[in-house]
Structure 1
């Protein structure tokens, strides 16, 4: 017997599935990091530790909420996904500009490998998020799957997403 949730997931087009795989991967990385901290004995309880735990947890919870909004056909789901993808594009572009204009000297800091890797990562991820944003904006298949009432996100939600993404990226 198939659940209503899995039936709704099956109705969504392919790029949303790729986004779902990203969400699952991100949750797995976060859980593995917590497990390694716990196993190694470096898990300390205190105010600073709680804050250092909550920032990545919020960064993982945000794409989970975006995916949940898309799968649940929320009136805010498509708007939330568009804002999320757009903000990821902007943040990767800002990180790329920071790298390019940082005044990095490979002779002082031990080579160019990390510098080039950072540039390549931000270019590739920024381009992928931009393609996902274009898909969210122009897809007729997604519009058909998300039929129903649509609402725009309030500005306070967008501001909260900016803060969470900037801290947890």
Structure 2
């Protein structure tokens, strides 16, 4: 655990303000759910809650199955980072923060397929390498956007509809697992 040197007092309602610098660094926004943990030494640990992250093992298995079936790179994200990845280059992607452009695209709740150079193509993760085609499908659970399924292709496909259907099916499956 890393000390910040910041001290806050608890107010009369039992609240503590998480400093703006920490919220910004950890991408914690107003309304974000936080998990609260305690240990035997009296420490209280706040962790940003990720419903997609709770599906960790299942999300990883699903990503691996799709990557093997389609021969592409698959990423499953929450609204902050890649929680599961499989396929070429996936080691570098897992755990990376998603770009603001991808986050905005996910929030729009629309599935998109785009080729590199097109208007809707986004760099999903900084340093993700060159993928010429990407399919992005938001994961929706209980009416809330919780993340996305990304299919990333190194080679252009003549018929990307299969990728779109696979991403849609995976996003639907994950959304139902959380609901």
Which one has more relative contact order, counting CA pairs under 8 Å at least 6 apart?
A: 1
Higher percent of residues as helix: 1
TM-score, length basis structure 1: 0.29
TM-score, length basis structure 2: 0.28
Higher percent of residues as strand: 2
